[in-house]
Each structure stands twice: as structure tokens, then as C-alpha cells.
């Protein structure tokens, strides 16, 4: 996958460097993901989390969003920030919930033992309250019957006009979607997660779930520079 030409090297280095102490795989996975996945660039360049002081990352993996936002603050303060980008988000707190114990341990080794990442199942864990919730490439791993209840609990955790960012694959996109599924399964196997069942939907079906959970949403294509069929759903609580 490509690296966006205006992503500062200091940002990429600052976000991925902490993972060196978590092992070679963790470091190269973090660097490759942050360099090549357009959703991380979009969150900063579009200012999607601007003004959101409490961010909850569901299915946070090894804490890449936390590392990215931390590095963004340092990069912005150092003046190494593209003029075309929005100002760096300054989250007062970033919390994560992750099912895989290995990823939680990896995050704590890389980002420090006091990083706020909880080992729990998002179908059962308490969400508390937040100003913004981020769910990247996670919902399709939940049983279809569990997806709506999770989104409803997300809505309960947010104030009116609270923000939800959901990245999903578009099951109506044909070959590009099936290719993304193959890569997804390969990465899950490589990371020791086994053969996970997937419960996918089209973008419009995902949006209907958001509507049923009292969100208004819009679609931002999120496959640029990749062969996948991904979309970022930007949802506002109502």
C-alpha cells in the first residue's frame, strides 16, 4: 500500500517507533498499517476528531490510534505539520477495548503500562461515556445479531451530536470486497487469531443499522491507494 505524500515522516516515525520494544512483527505491522491505510491520514487531515476530548476506540488492536494521536500532538507542536491539514486533535483521554490479550499486552509494552486499554469483549464491556467513538474494521467480526445492540450502546455512551467513526467493507462491491476479505483473513491468521467468521453488509445496510441506532451518517470512501472496497461512515448521534 502507498504512503500518502504529505504525511510527515516525523509523524509516521513517532507513531511507529514505540512498537520496536514490542517485537519486530508489532513494529512492522504498525508502521505498514499507519503508512498505508488511508483512514489514519484522513482522521488527522480532515480534523475528524477535532474538539472531541474523550475518544473511545472499540476493537483497538495494539493501540495504533492511540499511538497515532499521541504522535500527532508532538508533530504539531514541533511545527512538522502539513499546512493543508486541520489542527492536531488534542484528546484529553483515549480509551481502548480489545478482545485479544496479545494485542493488549503489545499495546502496553509499546505505549506504557498505564495506557488506557482494557482487555474485554465489546459485546459485554461497559463503554462509559465519550465524545467520540471509533470502530475500525471490527463490526463484521461480531455476530449479526450483536451488531445493532453494540451500536445502540455506543449511542448511549455519546451525548447528542456525539461522533461515531465506523470503517466497514462494502459487501455490495463485488471483487474488491472479496479481495479485502481474503487479505483480512490472511492477516488474522498471521496474527494468531485463527479463522474468524465474518458477518458483512453493504454500506447501505450498515447505514440502516446506524439509523436504527439513532445516528445520522454520511459516507466517505476509504479505499484510496488500496485494492479494497472500504468506506468510513461518519455518524452523528441524534
Domain ranges of the chain: 9-237
For residue 66, pLDDT beyond 80: yes
What is the per-residue pLDDT for 180?
72
* Cα 78 to Cα 10, 12, 88, 92, 172, distances in angstroms: 9, 14, 11, 19, 43
**Mean pLDDT of the chain, nearest integer:** 91
Q: 23-48, pLDDT tens digit by residue?
A: 999 999 999 999 999 999 999 999 99
Q: Are 129 and 93 in contact (CB under 8 A)?
A: no
Percent of the chain with pLDDT over 90: 79
Q: Which fold would CATH assign to domain 9-237?
A: Rossmann fold (3.40.50)
- Average pLDDT, stretch 76-85? 93
- H or E segment and range at residue 180: helix 175-190
pLDDT score of 1: 44
Amino acid at each position: 500500500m502507498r504512503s500518502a505524500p504529505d504525511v510527515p515522516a516525523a509523524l509516521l516515525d513517532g507513531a511507529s517507533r514505540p512498537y520496536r520494544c514490542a517485537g519486530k512483527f508489532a513494529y512492522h505491522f504498525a508502521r505498514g498499517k499507519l503508512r498505508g491505510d488511508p483512514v489514519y491520514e484522513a482522521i488527522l487531515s480532515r480534523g475528524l476528531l477535532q474538539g472531541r476530548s474523550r475518544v473511545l476506540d472499540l476493537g483497538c488492536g495494539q493501540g495504533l490510534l492511540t499511538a497515532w494521536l499521541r504522535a500527532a500532538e508532538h508533530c504539531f507542536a514541533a511545527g512538522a505539520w502539513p499546512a493543508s491539514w486541520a489542527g492536531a486533535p488534542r484528546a484529553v483521554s483515549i480509551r481502548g477495548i480489545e478482545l485479544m490479550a496479545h494485542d493488549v499486552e503489545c499495546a502496553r509494552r509499546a505505549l506504557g503500562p498505564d495506557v488506557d486499554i482494557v482487555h474485554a469483549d465489546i459485546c459485554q464491556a461497559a463503554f462509559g461515556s465519550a465524545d467520540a467513538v471509533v470502530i475500525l474494521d471490527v463490526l463484521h467480526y461480531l455476530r449479526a445479531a450483536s451488531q445493532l445492540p453494540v451500536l445502540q450502546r455506543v449511542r448511549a455512551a455519546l451525548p447528542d451530536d456525539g461522533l461515531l467513526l465506523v470503517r466497514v467493507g462494502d459487501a455490495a462491491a463485488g471483487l474488491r470486497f472479496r479481495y479485502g476479505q481474503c487479505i483480512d483473513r490472511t492477516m488474522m491468521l498471521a496474527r494468531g487469531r485463527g479463522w474468524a467468521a465474518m458477518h458483512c453488509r453493504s454500506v447501505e445496510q450498515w447505514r440502516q443499522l446506524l439509523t436504527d441506532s439513532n445516528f445520522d451518517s454520511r459516507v466517505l470512501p476509504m479505499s484510496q491507494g488500496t485494492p479494497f472496497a472500504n468506506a468510513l461512515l461518519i455518524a452523528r448521534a441524534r
